[in-house]
Structure 1
């Protein structure tokens, strides 16, 4: 399998070659395997750009509809323990898979750690406190401490320029167990609730998630899958071996990688080259989950658009012909959205035809974000997102 053919198929399946008609925000989020929502406006743009006519209001309605029964998206802790939008209907699969992923070494200082028994006690307390309630983190903290003991409230976890109570170190785990998800903000403060989710059995859910990852981002290796999940490589290798043994996936030769895997029988790739330009926001699923990185971020793109450790997503990127060829930034003031695009030398030169394509793409950004976008081609001076 060649790199360009594999990349073209990924782009098509991500609705990035052509925005999909008649899709809902939940359809899009399911296709890309979660929309990273550390920056919620970026998640709205990621989803909106993939569906014809979708806007940020559509995403917000799917997430925060006044009638909970109409909420088809959930904001919770997803892959890598980071905040994602996930389809509400798929929450049992995600929680079943993520809650069963082996954890690595405990990153907290010895005096800050919790025993396995304390972890279970806190997760149960979180689920109980949030059942039928929407609580801020401070309100939830009071409830957890009241249900467990003063030890859970010890300020021993490093936070943003402050120390957080001990129980906060398992907040993401409660999300992975299906005991916690975000609720609508109360003013400017985030709130949490219990989504009432029963996770699927771990082996079943993990097998399904691995197959869906390979459908969306294959060919891929166990190491790619492990990095996407922030999971141990040895565990991922064992999962792939089990799937191969059952005939669910098959091995292929992938250019620049070597042996890799696809869903069994899923070996058709488009012959047409990728053309045109696309703008992808912070932490877009395509840039984070696609490997090998050195092919998606060729030349100067690896220096300009990746972190020193090779992490993707910290910069919004310009795709030209399906590969990263620049970075960009947007600044909003009322309805006006000032978009600055910085093409990278050699890869991102913008002749007249390509500039017109970029202008249309900027118009799409404005439409999704319900504003009036204006393009400037120049140097992006904003640093990477943390």
Structure 2
């Protein structure tokens, strides 16, 4: 199953995994797999890796593609001056932290406390200064470099040690034999084109100029999307004869809604006010009808029981209602639970 799952994740251009259950649902619903299959691909067969991906957020990526991801994301200009002056690190300090992380995890997976001790020992007391605002306190200065370190292939997430997260050596993150950035543009446009360089840059977490330079590496064709210029891969101008017809449940931060542009087409009418969070996509699980966001949903699990509440923003036909019920059953299989569907308001607010 791992072989098939890495292909699904590759087609998605990575799976957002800040909420692991949502990542399992995103993959399982597409692949006809269960959460157990996803976990096996991640921790046993190692077909997948967990690391910092686009926008510096936690993602699952195909292990086979990690060198290309490193090549692409390490090219994103690092904004050393983005943090306030008392918090920020110099480029030299960032390089020291990256090297210290890479060396520390070679001996095996480390918890954050173990990794912190190793990094501070290798770099100096400045790295241990508690300057980064955290959930209920402050983190040491060096931790702001973790996404950069991951983008440079210094580490990936390791298997949990009890309830503690660990960090491990990347399986093979040497520089890819081809142009990783051009590869990522091609992968992105295959999945989410037509798109603009600015949209690609926003999705990846880089500045607009970097996005334009990335697009210049690939042979493209300009098209019009709703009257606005955008790009596809050269020759990839075919469109379906008919508009897709389907009902889908997408979990938090699903790749389709995070990458999908333009937002006004994906979130028509009242969907924008109900399912976006200040213009940001992914903070609500959504009901998708014929490719458009048409509601939100929430699940609550108790043992093997999973209660799923769906708030629709449009009337469903009898056929769509049946397909929604089928989606709920399918989600239950993916999450290894006994689902129960309720139609009604969702009171839970957006995820941070």
State the TM-score bracket (shorter-chain normalisation).
over 0.9
For normalisation by structure 2, the TM-score amounts to 0.97
Q: How far has the Cα of 1:236 moved from its partner?
A: 1.1
Task: Give distance in 2, aligned partners of 1:115 and 1:278.
Answer: 46
Alignment of 1:25-174 (within 5 A): 25-52=5-32, 54-65=33-44, 70-104=45-79, 106-174=81-149
Shift of 1:105: 5.9
The counterpart of 1:293, out of the listed 258, 263, 266, is 263
Match of 1:252 in 2: 223
What is the rounded CA distance, in whole Å, between the counterparts of 2:151 and 2:80 in structure 1? 18
Of the three residues 282, 285, 290, the one matched with 2:252 is: 282
Q: In structure 2, how many angstroms separate the alpha carbons of the residues matched to 1:203 and 1:161?
A: 43
Q: For residue 383 of structure 1, what is the aligned residue in structure 2?
A: 349
Q: What is the number of residues matched between the two proteins?
A: 352
1:261 paired residue among 223, 231, 236: 231
**Structure 1 Cα separation of the partners of residues 299 and 26 of structure 2:** 14
Contact preservation (8 Å) 1:127, 1:179: yes
Say if 1:268 and 1:22 are closer, same or farther in 2 by CA, change over 3 A.
farther
More displaced stretch, 229-238 vs 362-371: 229-238
Q: d(CA) in 2 for partners of 1:166 and 1:35?
A: 28
Structure 1 Cα separation of the partners of residues 62 and 48 of structure 2: 5
Q: Give 3-state SS (helix, strand or coil) of 1:75's partner.
A: strand
1:197-212 equivalence runs, <5 A: 197-200=172-175, 204-212=179-187
**Whole-angstrom CA distance in 2 between matches of 1:353 and 1:267:** 31
Displacement of 1:351 in angstroms is 3.5
Report what 1:320 is aligned to: 289
Partner of 1:13: none
Aligned-partner SS, 2:306: strand
Secondary structure of residue in 2 paired with 1:61: helix
Tell me how far 1:219 sits from its aligned partner: 0.6
Distance (Å, rounded) in 1 between the aligned partners of 2:217 and 2:57: 27
Q: Following the alignment from structure 1 to structure 2, what is the Cα–Cα distance between the partners of residues 315 and 367? A: 21
Q: CA RMSD in A?
A: 1.6
- Residue 23 of structure 1: CA displacement? 6.7
Q: Tell me by how many angstroms 1:350 deviates.
A: 2.4
Unaligned runs of 5+ in 2: none
Q: Deviations over 1:274-304 (max 9, x none)?
A: 2121000000000000100000000010001
Q: Deviations over 1:76-134 (max 9, x none)?
A: 00000000000001000001100111134622221222121111111100010001311
1:300–1:45 CA distance, 2 compared to 1 (3 A): same
Indicate whether 1:240 and 2:218 are aligned.
no
Using the size of structure 1 for normalisation, the TM-score is: 0.88
Is structure 2 residue 272 aligned with structure 1 residue 302? Answer: yes
Q: For 1:24, what is the secondary structure of its paired residue?
A: helix
Are residue 372 (structure 1) and residue 338 (structure 2) matched? yes
Q: Note if contact 1:305-1:312 (Cα within 8 Å) is conserved in structure 2.
A: yes
Query: Could you tell me how far apart the structure 2 residues matched to 1:179 and 1:232 are?
Result: 23
